[in-house]
A = this chain, B = another copy of it.
């Protein structure tokens, strides 16, 4: 029923967990349809409930013609614990979509489902890249200078210095790949109280980053306000602080929008001003649109895995697809492997040398 084109005609296959997210499978199919018009080189492998997905695909004949659907009986719920999903979720849409990447059927996987479960399964199935101890979650953040990369956003509650150094390396290559900046600056998120500056692991990570040759340039410590100021191209932090910073940023954007709405509703002349300024507000809204920044990448895995926000719409999901496509098309993982190989003697995805004493 679906079009099974030969592999050579499908250079970039994306596996989709069609059942993940608040409004799945609707937004997944709609998002794929949008992405398909943007990236005609991409085809999709849907995993999920056939009875629900088929009618949705029927509305998009072009998408349907370049897609394949695999029926999966189970779903990872949003409350499911990662360990439970790992043990019991072998027949879920999420797990089978990840498997498709491991088995070479797809170039990358995207899910809007349970983040913890997705990370646990992706790590278990895909494994980390040689030289990377722990995967990290990264995203693009809007800044006064454009966009910056921030990681980790919650995969690792506690990190040692070496983890942070690896995040710096991955974030820098991510920045080169996605934002095209050849010599990204890297900042380590810290607090400003001079003497006490930061946890031990941050201080040690800084001393390593000052000495070791890394892709990009180590800027030093930065503070919370530097993230949106765009002080550095890459912001490196542990998953606890990164998650809190990211969600504080999102919450503040909503607070200011709330204040703005209240201010403009306070008088008729302000309302008139608002009508005249609508274009400016729409521009602002577009710039700060969370859907533009949808798609958090799991970096450090042997395969590209992108997490879409669970509450996003089709537009947001299409953007997550775009991010995944860019990472694959620009050979992001190959570049990380290359960099690690140059630095540490890892090559071709195989560990050729253990960390030696000079590291």
Contact = CB atoms under 8 A, between A and B. Distances in A.
A88 interface: no
A256 interface: yes
A73 to B, nearest CB: 23
Contacts of A255: 142-144, 228-229
Contacts of A277: 263-264, 269-270, 273-274, 277
A223 interface: yes
A359 interface: no
Number of copies: 2
A58 interface: no
Interface in A220-269: 223-229, 237, 239-241, 243-256, 258-260, 263-264, 266-267, 269
Interface in A72-89: 79, 81-83
A74 to B, nearest CB: 18
B280 A266 contact: yes
Nearest to A278: B273
A108 B115 CA distance: 48
A287 interface: yes
A7 interface: no
A345 interface: no
A259 B276 contact: no
Contact of A280 (B192, B223, B267, B279): B267
Given A225-B251, A249-B251, 10 more contacts: A81-B195, A114-B194, A157-B196, A225-B248, A228-B254, A229-B255, A260-B280, A263-B277, A263-B287, A266-B283
Interface of A: 79, 81-83, 114-116, 119, 142-144, 154-155, 157-158, 189, 191-196, 198-199, 223-229, 237, 239-241, 243-256, 258-260, 263-264, 266-267, 269-270, 272-281, 283-284, 287-288
